Structure 1
Amino acid sequence: MIDQFGTAGCAAEFGAEFAAALEALFTLRRDVRHFRRDALPPGTIERLLAIACLAPSVGFSQPWRFVLVDDPVRRRRVRDNFVACNDAARLGYDDERAALYARLKLAGLDDAPCHIGVFAEPDPATGHGLGRRTMKETIAYSVVMAIHTLWLAARAEGIGLGWVSILDPGAIAAALDVPAGWQFIGYLCIGYPQDAHRTPELEREGWERRIDADAMIFRR
């Protein structure tokens, strides 16, 4: 079967120009913390989520569940939980690191126009259990793949994504009134970034440096 690229299925070759652009996309993807308040064009987030749903999943289970959070009361409950968890987390660092932590704005909860709670259905009927009998956590891994797919698709259009992880999963599930059993994976802030940087903010601020890839590769 010939697809829209004029070639047969997985045999598609995209060429050097596409490969270079894809590498630039990977390189320039950032965890955005500073957003403009401009609304996204109508239908944008739904289209990007449709792309996210093309991500690979264990056993083709497609366990991701995206909750668009528009209600200001629910957003406030999420923000209040973040503040409490963030304050508690800061106490776990020594004075120097805590001072740096306090300077970092770790969420775009006030400015980002789009908020999404991302959950995993832990035992979906889809997939019939294939590939996860010995590693049930592959369900959560699959949802992370969908988030990463969304992240790249958004960045390709100049839209930023920030992943807020300093939250209590139970409190967020309650705030968003999701079905019992759904596993909280992450809370996403999405919108146009205030600025663009080649270097991650945490690296610019001296929190951590990027480790050379060679140090992460092992042979046996």
Structure 2
Amino acid sequence: MKITEDERDAVYKTIFSRRDVRGQFKPDLIPDDVLKRILTAAHHAPSVGFMQPWDFIVVKNKATKEKIKIGFESAHAESAAMFTDEKAEQYRKLKLEGILDAPLGICVTCDRNRNGPTVIGRTINSEMDLYSTVCAVQNLWLAARAENLGVGWVSIIHDSVLKDALGIPEEINIIAYLCVGYVSHFNDKPELEKLGWLPRRDIDAAIHEEKWSPK
């Protein structure tokens, strides 16, 4: 199946306009068919040995989200103490989640025992199933952007909080908790770039020819 130029351009537009959304969520509910499409896109991510180790927990209940929010607040305070004084002050002012603002959350997990202990492609690098699940997160994120939905990755939270709130078995790995919903707008640049936390690295600095070279 050949990709047309218009289709190619739409893919690049989606990639370059994807944002980590924290504060622009609207309360509008996501239609079931739209949610199913983005989860189906996630389910079609590449996976080592075709093991498809991911699962998706859809969270709509307010009480559940409030438990997750409390866990974030605790981890947020813990994280702030790790930065130097100037960065810590800036860090505390950042809005880094939309747990209660977004109409739903999606927890993406990885079952490392799916299809047994020996999996094609994971025989040498044992973490390939984790990487495969991260690919599912990226597929979900891009599909959501194509549906004009915002996504925010809540990484500042302990796994134990999510396992307790969502009844996740101990042997299941948590890869991501995502806040998902329609938004008032998408920022023209990533928020941390706009606020001067860090600049975008130049692409030429990331490209090496044949061998690693210092940049």
Q: Is the 8 A contact 1:25 1:155 kept in 2?
A: yes
Count residues in correspondence.
209
3-state SS in 1 of match to 2:152:
strand
The correspondence for 2:107, drawn from 112, 117, 122, is 117
CA-to-partner distance for each residue in 1:16-58, whole Å, 9 max, x for gaps? Answer: 2222221111110001112111111233212210121011000
- Please report how far the alpha carbon of residue 84 of structure 1 lies from its aligned counterpart in structure 2 after TM superposition: 0.1
Question: The residue matched to 1:153 in structure 2 has which SS?
Answer: helix
User: How far apart, CA to CA, are the structure 2 residues paired with 1:216 and 1:177?
Assistant: 41
2:142 is equivalent to residue 178 of structure 1 = no
With structure 2 as the length reference, what TM-score do the two structures score?
A: 0.92
Cα distance in 2 for residues equivalent to 1:17 and 1:41: 27
- State the distance in 2 between where 1:24 and 1:71 align: 33
Structure 1 residue runs of 4+, over 3 Å off? none
2:22 pairs, out of 29, 33, 39, with 33
- Residue in structure 1 matching 2:45, options 52, 55, 62: 55
Residues 111 and 150 from structure 1, CA distance in 2 versus in 1: closer, same or farther, beyond 3 angstroms? same
Q: How many Å separate the matches in 2 of 1:44 and 1:168?
A: 29
- What is the letter of the counterpart of residue 5 of structure 2? A
Paired-residue identity, %: 37
Q: Which whole-Å CA distance do the structure 1 matches of 2:182 and 2:117 have between them?
A: 35
Aligned residue for 1:23? 12
What secondary structure sits across from 1:43 in the alignment?
A: helix
Q: Does the 8 A contact of 1:60 with 1:127 survive in 2? A: no
Find the counterpart in structure 2 of residue 194 from structure 1: 184
Compared CA separation, residues 127 and 141, structure 1 to 2 (3 A): same
**Which residue number in structure 2 is paired with residue 7 of structure 1?**
none
What is the Cα deviation at residue 126 of structure 1? 7.2
Question: Does the CA contact (< 8 Å) of 2:112 and 2:172 recur in 1?
Answer: yes
- The aligned amino acid for 1:14 is I
1:14 paired with 2:39, answer no
Work out whether 1:92 is the aligned partner of 2:92: no
**TM-score, with length taken from structure 1:** 0.90
Distance 1:126 1:153 in 2: 30
In structure 2, which of residues 194, 200, 213 is the aligned counterpart of residue 204 of structure 1? 194
Q: Deviation per CA, 1:74-108, whole angstroms, max 9, x where unpaired? A: 22211111000001101111222112111211000
Q: Shift in Å at residue 184 of structure 1?
A: 0.7
CA positional deviation for 1:146: 0.5
**Where in structure 2 are there 5+ consecutive unaligned residues?**
none
- Provide the alpha-carbon RMSD of the alignment: 1.5
Q: Distance in 2 between matches of 1:44 and 1:113?
A: 14
2:123 counterpart SS class: coil
Q: Within 2, Cα distance between the matches of 1:94 and 1:152?
A: 34
Letter paired with 2:13: A
